[in-house]
Every structure is written in structure tokens, then in C-alpha cells.
Amino acid sequence: MKKRKVWLSTILFAPILVMSLITGCSHSLNAASSLGKDTLTMITSPDYPPYDFYDTKKGERQIVGFDIDIAKTIAKELGFKLQIMQSDFNGLIPALQANRADFAMAGMSPTPERKKNIDFSIIYYQAKDTIVAPKNSNLKQPQDLAFKKVGVQLGTIQEQNAKKIAQKVTGIQLKQLNKVAETIQEIKSGRIDAAIIEDTVARGFVQANPELGFNVIPSEQKSGSAIAFPKGSSFVEPFNKVLQQMKDKGELEKLVTKWFSQTTATVSSPSAKGGLNLDFTRIIPEIPFILKGIPLTLLFTLLSVFLGLIWGTVLSLCKITSINPLVWVANAYTSVFRGTPLLLQLALVYYATPQLTGYNISALEAGVLTFTLNSGAYMSETIRGGIQAVDKGQAEAAMSMAIPYWLMMWDIILPQALKNILPALVNETIGLLKDSALVSTIGVVEILRSAQIVGANKYIYFEPLLFAGLIYYLLVMGMTRSASVLERRLRQSQ
């Protein structure tokens, strides 16, 4: 009985500890986005060298690049500190619309469609589109792409330009992908024939993949990179003044030379061979950077499992109660969260919360909250089955001794139910560990995101992802072994 009281105290105290951990972590991940304060918040997609990318040397997690240097100069000139957030490219505009950041820089071009939703600065760099394709393919001009599969990065100006080309050239089939590295890999895999990529980025990928080549697409339309702001932002005019000063003093040209001349200098060129041509020695210096994603992945998983278990228990108790409204609400809740994609739930929580509540929820908090709500729906069914599997005589004996219902559940029924459903809970934990990779879409640099960053920096694809897969496998095996030991001990204690 004493052990059961300790177990009950732990359950009651643990949520306080968990919320303290979340609050502490959110301070490091939270990005304040308020006008008139001493800090400017920039959001970027740091997988786009040389514009924005992570400096992975010695395992550090510092975003650097052409855009970053410009942003630092502007912030200094305007008397602000600079804070940097990160997201996938297609999440930059939603972040600005939700006022999660003061401005965005990621080689973004101002288009009529984008201008309807956000504001832009003047152009700070003029780039060109290129056709990247195998060298022997002879795909050099837009008309050569007729009846070909062409890859583009989702949400970029290259995607829009490719659609315009498709209207003029017959038979082009476009394939939208999330990252430039994915389009390059699709070319190498033969799934697409070519890709339309900006010249400064294409140059690095082509040097890292000698079997590929690129050709500049002639264009009469003037476009380039600009800084994006929330609609009606008061920062547009002061930013434009500083940008113009940087142009007049030649500072922008110096930054162009600094960063775009580095692209070819820092890319290692493997010999052109058939097959995958894997070379893991290229990621050895970056391994500490990838390993730094492990603590965050484990913290996210453990918080989600613990809070999901508590929430799932509450839902399961509602489902077996005699109060019909609670039963209906719990079943409806489970139906909604089991019937909609987890990625959709994550996006809604992260982007909609600031607009609906005014609270600037951090990426970690959004991830933990979403996975708690989702896993609670699944765990509720598992826990309900575990409760109903407990011998009814246990409950009858407790009631005959006049033990209150809730005390009976917490002290007698639930401990036995949790022991019975331990394997199912372990499976749920493993699923959450692997699904934690989804939080990379909202800017959490966990294991998978770390590997993708290394791939973008090194202009490679398979090696960092395979290494990340090995880490996930070892973590899952460790959890499985630990659960087996715990299960044996629980059986011995019976």
C-alpha cells in the first residue's frame, strides 16, 4: 500500500516538473516578435547555402550566410539586437502572417502573389535561374524541357517561373519538392529529367556532383532577392534606407564576393562513379553537430509520452464513466485526432495559436502539445482496454470496503492496467520517437533536421540521412531493451 501511495504522489508531482522543463526549454527556443523593442526577430530557411545555412564546425549551431550578414548589418545600423528563427521555406510566409517574426530572409523574390500577403524591401541581390540536368542530357534551354519531368522547390520563385515555362513549352510535368537537395537526388535517381534552381545554389551542387551540369535560363524579367515583412510593417522604410546605403558604399558587393566565391571553394568534389558513391568520410567532421540533436529528440519524446499518458488516462476514464456527456466528448475527441494527419495538427497548433490566443508558442511547446493531444487519443483506447481487462472482483472488493471510486482507480485499478498494457505503451513511445522528426518542419533542429542541414552544407544527400537512421535505430533498440528489463521485473514482483 505504501508503494502505491508513492506511485500516486509521483503522478501528481510529475506534471509540475514537466511544465517547468517545458518553460525552461521554451526560453531558448522561443522567438519574441514585437515591434518597437530592442530585438529584431528574423526567420529563415537555413538549408540554402550560401544565403542561409548552419555553420556545423565543431558541432556548433550557428546560422551564417549572405543573408545573415546583411541582417546583422541592418540590425546594427538601426540599433537593434538580432534574433534568428528557422523554418522550412514554405513556412516563412505563414510565420510572417502569424507575426512570429519581424522579417524573413531566404533568397526570397517579391512576386505579385506574395505581395498580396506580405511586404517586401528593395532588391538586394539579382540572381538567375538555371536548368540543372545530367551532362549528357542536352537540356540547356527551356524548349529542351518539352515532355520532360522538371523538379522545383516548393514555394520558390523558381516554381513560379517553371509554371510560366510550362505554359509556353508543351508537355512539361512539374514535380514540387521541399528542398533543393531533394530535387538534385531526384535527378540522380532518374525520377525527373531536370530541375530549375538558382545559379548560386546550383553551382555548389553541380561541383559536388560532377555528372550534372547547369545552364542559365535567359530571362527578360527582372527579379531578385528581397527582405519580406508582415503586411503593413513599419520596418520596410528603415530597412530600405540601410540597404541603399550598403549598395552605395559597396558593402553589398563585398558580401557577394565573400559568400558566393566560397561556394566553389568549400565544396569537395567526389569522383564521378556509378551507383550511390557513398563516402561517409565527408560527414565525419559534422558528426558532433548531428549528435547534438539527440538530447532534444529524447526530451521531446519523453515529455510527449508522459503528458500523453496522463491525458490518455483522463480520456479513458471519461469513456468508461456512466456520465454520457463525458463519454460522448471523449469519443468525439478521439475520432477527430485519430482521423486527421498529425502534420496538419502540428501546423495548426504552431501557426494558429499566436493569431487565436496572442501567445507566441515556441516550436518545442507546439510540438509537445500537438503530440500530447494526438498520442492521448491513441493511448486512451489502449488504457481503456487495460482497465477493462482487470478482474472485476478487484473493483467489487474495493467498493465493499467503501473505498472512493477515484481512489480505487488511482490506487488499485490503474497500476494493474498499466502493467498489462506496458508493451503497447512501449510501441507508442517508439512511434513518438520516430514521429518526432515531423517537428523539423516547424524549425526544431532534432536528429533528422540536423542531418538535412549537414547534407545541404555538404551538397550531399544519403550519407547524413543514413547516419541519422542509425541513430534512430540505436535509440529504439535501447528503449526496447530497457522496456524488456522493466517488464521482467514487474512480472517478478507479482
Read off the C-alpha cell for 423.
508493451
pLDDT tens for the chain, 494 residues: list them: 444 444 434 443 444 344 444 444 433 333 333 345 789 999 998 888 888 888 877 666 789 999 999 999 999 999 999 999 988 888 899 889 988 899 999 988 888 889 999 999 999 998 888 999 999 898 989 999 999 999 998 878 888 889 989 999 999 999 998 888 889 989 988 999 999 998 888 888 888 888 999 999 887 555 689 999 999 999 999 999 999 999 999 999 999 888 887 554 344 445 444 455 677 888 888 888 899 999 999 999 999 999 998 998 889 888 888 888 999 999 999 999 999 999 999 989 988 888 788 788 888 899 999 999 999 998 888 888 777 767 677 666 777 777 776 667 766 777 777 777 778 888 888 988 998 888 888 878 889 988 988 887 777 878 899 999 999 999 999 988 888 887 777 666 55
- For residue 383, which of 441, 308, 323, 303 has the smallest C-alpha distance? 308
| Predicted pLDDT at 12 | 38
* pLDDT reported for residue 16: 39
The structural domains of the chain, ordered by start, are 2-28+290-492 (1.10.3720.10), 31-125+224-271 (3.40.190.10), 129-216 (3.40.190.10)
DSSP state string for 419-467: HHTHHHHHHHHHHHHHHGGGGGGGT---HHHHHHHHHHHHT-SHHHHHH
Across-strand partners of 83?
41
pLDDT at 282: 82
What pLDDT shows up at residue 220?
52
The pLDDT, as a whole number, for residue 20 is: 42
Q: What is the pLDDT of residue 494?
A: 56
Going from the C-alpha of 331 to that of each of 132, 159, 279, 336, 390, the distances in angstroms are 52, 43, 51, 9, 22
Is 0.85 surpassed by the pTM of this model?
A: no
Give pLDDT, residue 4: 44
CA distance 55 to 419: 46
Please check whether residue 265 is in contact with residue 158, taking contact to mean a CB–CB distance below 8 angstroms: no
Instruction: Report DSSP letters for 113-138, one per residue.
Output: HHHTTEEE----B---EEEEEEGGG-
CA nearest neighbour of 264 among 184, 201, 181? 201
Q: What contacts 139, CB < 8 A, 6 or more positions away?
A: 131, 133, 145, 148, 193, 194, 215
Helix (H), strand (E) at residue 157: helix 157-168
Confidence (pLDDT) at 405: 67
